[in-house]
Structure 1
Amino acid sequence: MSFKEFKNKKIIKILTNSFVLISIPFIIWMLFFDENSYLVHRKFDLEIKDLENTIHFYKNKIEEDKATIKKLEDSLQLERFAREKYLLKKENEDIYIIEFDTLKK
């Protein structure tokens, strides 16, 4: 008996083992078809990562807004903010908005 025949017999013996015959379909089932499969877990992990990024974004926005609110406690800053963002004006005052054409012709 040559080494190649011995190796083929050994592989066949391993593959026909009842434990292997049951384990392989079980592993395939658990990885791809089960309700709690690897693919489902991977999708949930990506969703969790996306939600954590969203949380981080909104925490940064909250910090920026808190800084803006603290800055607006000063009446001069509040007036400046109202003029720039909402185009508010005082009585008997005219506002001119100047727009520059930045498009190349």
Structure 2
Amino acid sequence: MAKNDPLIKPIRPKSPLEKFVRKYIVNKYFVTVFSFLVWMVFFDSTSFLVINELNSEINKYQEQLAYYQSEYRKNDEFYRRLMNNKDEKEKYARENYFMKKPNEEIFILVVDSSKVKKQP
């Protein structure tokens, strides 16, 4: 055997990085698990990104639900107060629908907004 034979490669010691790469990264189980995780996080229909987006949408709808429930409670209280009190009903009709009694007149005053001084 000749020393300068091109078919014979010299044996060199492996570096710690090369050992790590051969032992873990090229390992078929590691590649399989890593591929599975990448698929589940980014590409699957139930991926982490989709679930996160759906959770934020759920939170938004829960906030809307809480708002509408509080508005419902306020309107329900107002309706009950209005239906149980004749004076309250009359006041509401006069203020919002300009209703009047048969023997009275209503004057609606309109202010010209161009002539009103604006306060700083």
Given the two structures, how large is their TM-score scaled by the length of structure 1? 0.80
Alignment of 1:19-98 (within 5 A): 19-72=29-82, 73-98=84-109
* Percent identity for Structure 1 against Structure 2: 27
Choose between structure 1 and 2: higher helix proportion.
1
Deviation at residue 103 of structure 1 after TM alignment = 8.4
Deviates more, 1:86-95 or 1:53-62: 86-95
What is the rounded CA distance, in whole Å, between the counterparts of 1:95 and 1:71 in structure 2?
Answer: 26
- With CA pairs under 8 Å and 6+ residues apart, which has the higher RCO, 1 or 2? 1
Which runs of no fewer than 5 residues in structure 2 stay unpaired? 1-12
Deviation at residue 61 of structure 1 after TM alignment = 0.9
Q: Which residue of 1 aligns with 2:10?
A: none
What is the rounded CA distance, in whole Å, between the counterparts of 1:48 and 1:95 in structure 2?
Answer: 51
Which runs of no fewer than 5 residues in structure 1 stay unpaired? none
Deviation at residue 9 of structure 1 after TM alignment = 2.2
Deviation at residue 92 of structure 1 after TM alignment = 3.3
Deviations 1:73-104 (A, max 9, x none): 11001100111222222223322233442785
4+ residue segments displaced more than 6 Å: none
Q: Which amino acid aligns with 1:94?
A: E
Over the residues paired in the alignment, what is the CA RMSD in angstroms? Answer: 2.2
CA shift in 2, pair 1:31/1:61, >3 Å: same
Deviates more, 1:74-83 or 1:9-18: 9-18
Deviation at residue 12 of structure 1 after TM alignment = 4.0
